[in-house]
Amino acid sequence: MDQKKRAELVEKILTLEKEDALEIAKLIIDNYKADFRGNQYIEEFLDIASDYDRLGEPEKALNIYKKAEKRALAIGDNDYLAPIYGGMGVSYNYLKEYESSVKFYQKAIKLFETSNNEQEIGIIYNNLGFVYKNILKFEEAVKSYIKAIEIFRKIDDKFSMTASYFNIADIFKSLKDYETALKYIDKCIELDKELKLDSLNDDLGYKDDLLVRLGRKSKDLTKKDENVFLDDEDDETTNDKSENKRWNWLWRKK
């Protein structure tokens, strides 16, 4: 569609409810046309593919990533292969094809290492930990998160460190090792406060949940709050909303 029509639809999105906005967003993506020549449009492919992932259509995203990969290989542009493979890792994770997700995340890490892109390497390690968690390889997951934290600490990316700290806490919570989970959520909360992040309240609530499971109570935990936390005692994937929000910080450029 022409630029004017696309701009009108984007403007309309801002006034709509979420479901209607998503329908128009999909319409924009589905009708996106460009003369895909040269490497500049590989970035366009990446943007479209990531939008499909955000809209919950990983199959379409993967199809776009494969087109981007084919073009990058054809013109010998290795700089784009790393983000392409990282994006494919995201799509395969959404599709629950975890072995493929791990495979492409590892390919992305190797390519990012050649360009010394530590920020992206840290993000991929964080996301790789998330995949390992999904396939119940908890030791590998924690190792990946620790690698991510080491990298983020080296480049002084405290914001991204909070994501990995939270994810480690969530693993130990799912293993019912609440003391260790508490240790890592405290690290997360410390950075939340330092950076004045909106996620602080969610993480404080998460900590309260752990304290209840340990038979303790925080000073600010009300009986009503306590009942909410205890309702999911047997759910190993508690606080999914907070976890998914935090993971989305890192799965694509924050």
Q: 34-115 with 117-254: one CATH topology?
A: yes
Rounded Cα distance between 178 and 218, Å, is 15
Q: Please tell me the class of the 34-115 domain.
A: mainly alpha
DSSP designation for 239: S
Rounded Cα distance between 36 and 53, Å, is 21
Of residues 60 and 248, more confidence is placed in 60
The pLDDT tens digits for 193-211 are 999 999 999 999 999 999 9
Of residues 5 and 242, more confidence is placed in 5
Rounded Cα distance between 56 and 237, Å, is 20
Cβ partners under 8 Å of residue 186, min gap 6: 207
Mean pLDDT of 117-127: 96
Of residues 34 and 188, more confidence is placed in 188
Q: What is the pTM of this model?
A: 0.76
Q: Domain locations in the chain? A: 34-115, 117-254
Share of the chain above pLDDT 70, in %: 81
Report the range out of 22-36, 165-179, 237-251 with the highest average pLDDT: 165-179
The pLDDT tens digits for 124-145 are 999 999 999 999 999 999 999 9
Model confidence at 32, pLDDT cuts 50, 70, 90, reads: low
Query: Residue 51 pLDDT more than 50?
Result: yes
Mean pLDDT of 218-234: 43
Please report, for residues 4, 114, 145, 243, the alpha-carbon distance to residue 236 in angstroms, rounded to integers and kept in the order given: 48, 38, 19, 12
For the segment(s) 117-254, the CATH number from 1.25.40.10, 1.10.1760.20, 3.40.1710.10, 1.10.287.130 is 1.25.40.10
Rounded Cα distance between 176 and 164, Å, is 18
Nearest residue to 146 via CA among 128, 131, 168: 168
